[in-house]
Amino acid sequence: MTVLRVRDFEIHQSYFAPEAQARLVHSLREVLSKAPLFQPVTPRGTPMSVRMSAAGDYGWISDRKGYRYEPAHPSGVPWPPIPESLIAMWREVVPDARDPECCLINWYDETAKMGMHQDRDEADLTQPVVSVSLGDEALFRMGNLTRGGKTESIWLRSGDVVVMDGDARRAYHGIDRIRPNSSTLLPNGGRINLTLRVVT
């Protein structure tokens, strides 16, 4: 494992070894069997290119009513618990933080991307966000505290963990594109990104 720092972003490359990634995918399948992926729309009604679900006390929802955290999946079922291995990883990489209350699950097919944005729907922005990449590689762009300006990009690979704390917590970031067929972890390809968050 190597830890890289790009601006205030801390990138733990290969945090999860291949066997641990496979176990994680297995526990995510259980989560998704209870809380299936859905395609969110932006408040303006445009479908987002990623499909989403969540685990934990809260899941992040976007629909015509806006962006917010909700205690249940759109079907009404409560979000399943966050897999233990993710809680253990969180406690190791951000030992001073409160435990995560949300594990947002983003599923990218080979054409999906995520525009530059800040994560700021959480009540306490002093708490970090930690992301896990699984499956195909993704070009992650890191920007500034305000929109625009120079950015730096890095390819995130399966098993990588990104800690967004300090200035990186409020920095713009996004996914430009996925590199199809760059991993064999997921039998049908694509990428899963998990973001662990403290919501309240």
Nearer to ligand AKG (CB atom), residue 73 or residue 173: 173
Report the C-alpha dihedral over residues 84, 116, 123, 50, rounded to 10 degrees.
Answer: -50
Least CB distance to ligand AKG at residue 112 (A): 9
CB atoms under 10 Å from CB of 51, counted, come to 19
Which of 10, 101, 119, 122 contacts Mn ion by CB under 5 A?
119
Smallest distance from the beta carbon of 37 to Mn ion, in angstroms? 18
Using the rule CB under 6 A, is 114 a contact of ligand AKG? yes
Comparison of 26 and 117: residue with beta carbon closer to Mn ion: 117
Q: Quick one: which of 114, 110, 112 has its CA closest to 175?
A: 114
For Mn ion, the closer CB: 82 or 171? 171
CB-based contacts of 46, cutoff 8 Å, min separation 6: none
- Nearest distance in Å: CB 116, ligand AKG: 9
Interface with ligand AKG, residue 137, by CB under 6 A: no
For residue 118, count CB atoms less than 10 angstroms from its CB and return exposed for 0-12, middle for 13-18, buried for 19 or more. middle
Regarding 122 and contact with Mn ion (CB under 5 A), the answer is no
Is residue 165 part of the contact set for Mn ion (CB under 5 A)? no
Considering only residues 142 to 181 of the shown chain, the ones binding ligand AKG according to CB under 6 A are 156, 173, 175
**Count of residues that bind Mn ion according to CB under 5 A:** 1
Angle at 112 between CA 50 and CA 75, to 5 degrees: 15
Tokens of 33: 């069997």
Q: Give the separation between CA 77 and CA 34, rounded to whole angstroms.
A: 8
Binding mask 60-89 for ligand AKG (x = CB under 6 A): ------------------------------
Of the candidates 190, 144, 147, 141, the residue with the CA atom closest to the CA atom of residue 162: 141
Note the residues at the interface with ligand AKG (CB under 6 A): 104, 106, 114, 119, 131, 138, 140, 156, 173, 175, 193, 195
